[in-house]
Amino acid sequence: MKKALLALCLLPTSAWAQTTVQSCARDVTFDKVPQAAISNDVNLTEMMLVLGLADHMVGYTGVSGWKTLDEEMRAGVAELPELAERYPTKEVLIGADADFFFAGWNYGMKVGGEVTPETLAPFGIQVYELTESCIHVGEKAKSSMDDMYNDLLNLGRIFDVEAKAEALVAGYRADLAALTDAGGTATEAPRVFVYDSGEDAPFTAGRYAMPTALIEAAGGKNIMDDFEKSWATVTWEEVVDRNPEIVVIVNYGDVTAEQKRDFMMQNPAFAEIDAVKNDRFITLEYVEATPGPRNIKAVQKLATAFKGE
């Protein structure tokens, strides 16, 4: 009887004991809930915050070097330090005694760089990779809203808040279904170009980048959805040839959305593009255009604009 009581006392207080999630092409097993997590970039950090995981974090990286935080985001990270303005070094992560890094390829990590799942493993830092970014390290399906849902659900499993993650994703799915059912999306898919940055050659969203999923969910078509890349550079000649009816500008960095619009509107080379002739530009903030909790409102914004409302 005493042995049975002792065994009961030694049982874990939580039902969560171990979980395995797929991170790109890797299966990653967690024996315990991370307690010293670090996220890179504003959108990945917001995924952590929307799941209520701030108390499991020791900081974040990769925001102020490129972007500014809005009021909502500033409030969410008020108690957390920014450990690096841009990509963190391995020393930064080790120095913070991190046990978990939520990042992606070109979202805090580079293929062949000093910060990768393999280089961090010897220091007890496990990595979960942003689903959208997996195209940089292997094959991947075309971008869809499921990319963002997948990350939230996996974070829910890793941090033992699975019910919260499932409820959140179910709500997002319902919001988009309601938008479609109410006739809130375009009936004929407008041709859309995503203008991120660059004047000599535009940096844009291809087949595997989140804006393709957002545009399609809103009833449009990314003119570069056959471009076998995530975020990458194309030529202006390609843009002119494909003649977008709408240009979606991603707003961040030193060049404002208005400056990007003016560049296209004032350049004679773009005068015959339908979007320019009709002055049809939509601005998405960086945090709306990259995978994260604000994607649903981004789809709603695009859908309204596509319908000309």
Question: Which pLDDT score, from 0 to 100, does residue 69 have?
Answer: 81
Q: How confident is the model at residue 243 (pLDDT cuts 50, 70, 90)?
A: very high
Confidence of residue 186 (pLDDT cuts 50, 70, 90): confident
* Residue 130 belongs to some domain of the structure: yes
Residues in contact with 246: Cβ distance below 8 Å, sequence separation at least 6, in sequence order: 190, 191, 192, 193, 220, 275, 280, 281, 282, 305, 306
Percent of the chain whose pLDDT exceeds 90? 85
- Identify whether residues 169 and 205 lie together within a single domain: no
What whole-number distance in Å separates Cα of residue 273 and Cα of residue 103?
A: 37
Task: Pick the range with the lowest mean pLDDT from 116-120, 180-184, 205-209.
Answer: 180-184
The predicted structure's pLDDT at residue 78: 86
Q: Is residue 179 part of a domain?
A: no
Q: How far is CA 167 from CA 35, 48, 118, 149, in A?
A: 23, 15, 33, 11
Number of independent structural domains in the chain: 2
**Which one is predicted more confidently, 67 or 135?**
135
In a domain, 178, yes or no: no
Q: The CATH number of the domain where 70 resides is what?
A: 3.40.50.1980
Which residues are paired to 204 by β-bridges? 232
Shared-domain flag, residues 259 and 293: yes
Range of the domain at 67: 16-173
Q: Is residue 121 part of a domain?
A: yes
Among the three residues 108, 143, 173, which one is the final residue of a domain in this structure?
173
Q: For residues 216 and 114, state if they share a domain.
A: no
Q: Which of 17-21, 73-77, 196-200 shows the lowest per-residue confidence on average (mean pLDDT)?
A: 73-77
**Residue 260 domain-assigned (yes or no):** yes
Q: Model confidence over 298-308: pLDDT tens digits? A: 999 999 999 98
